[in-house]
Amino acid sequence: MREVPDRVRRQVIRRAADRCEYCGLSQAGQEATFHIDHIIPIAAGGATVVENLALACVSCSLRKGARRTAPDPQTGAEVALYHPRRENWQVHFRWEGVSLEGQTPTGRATIAALDMNRPIILAIRREEKLLGRHPPPDRLQPGSGRHSEIRHCSGLSSRERLPLHRLRRRLIEPIARCAVVRDERFGFDNRASGPLSAS
């Protein structure tokens, strides 16, 4: 992977307001550092310039990889993936609670290819909603220009705001337990021991 100069990296992060330009996830709540994605991959001649770069959470970045197209799950037709520099995010996607819905073939194909509604990310978005970071306000939506992060829980007083570890215990852990696959015959429990991540 071609190295992105620090100056360019800072410019991409600032432009994206520290949010994934595909799914809108905030870097603020994630331990893993977001990637600088080549929208047109290097292998296809994509340049390491700000016009061809986007900030992407680890999950979106790895799932996209060098792909530029994917099948529309509704029609089966191969269509272009969402291009953060050329297209308006709101044209292709809309929020339905914590789930993303595709409004175009490109939107549907991108959601499916990047697995944007997998159970773990839905749980994370619920947590982010309590923290006031989901959904991004319209002016904070990916691909909508420069903006600043909202850091407080909407509608909650300072006394009502809970520490992150308590929010996780109250909201995320019951959801995670529901996803646990146990086989008592073999004494197997596949629960992860670490914190939730978006991957």
d(Cα 56, Cα 123) in Å, to the nearest integer?
A: 19
Per-residue pLDDT, averaged over 89-104, amounts to: 97
The per-residue pLDDT for 143 is 54
The per-residue pLDDT for 193 is 41
Has residue 135 been placed in a domain?
A: yes
Per-residue pLDDT, averaged over 113-132, amounts to: 97
Q: How confident is the model at residue 141 (pLDDT cuts 50, 70, 90)?
A: low
Instruction: Indicate whether 189 pLDDT > 50.
Output: no
Instruction: Indicate whether 177 pLDDT > 90.
Output: no
* pTM of structure: 0.72
Instruction: Indicate whether 168 pLDDT > 90.
Output: no
CA distances from 81 to 10, 111, 112, 186, 192 (A): 25, 9, 10, 43, 32
Has residue 177 been placed in a domain?
A: no
Per-residue pLDDT, averaged over 32-47, amounts to: 97
Better-scored residue on pLDDT, 130 or 169: 130
Has residue 175 been placed in a domain?
A: no
Q: Which domain holds residue 111?
A: 6-140
Q: What is the mean pLDDT of the chain?
A: 80
Has residue 173 been placed in a domain?
A: no
Has residue 104 been placed in a domain?
A: yes
Q: How confident is the model at residue 110 (pLDDT cuts 50, 70, 90)?
A: very high
Q: How many domains does the chain have?
A: 1
Has residue 43 been placed in a domain?
A: yes
Has residue 83 been placed in a domain?
A: yes
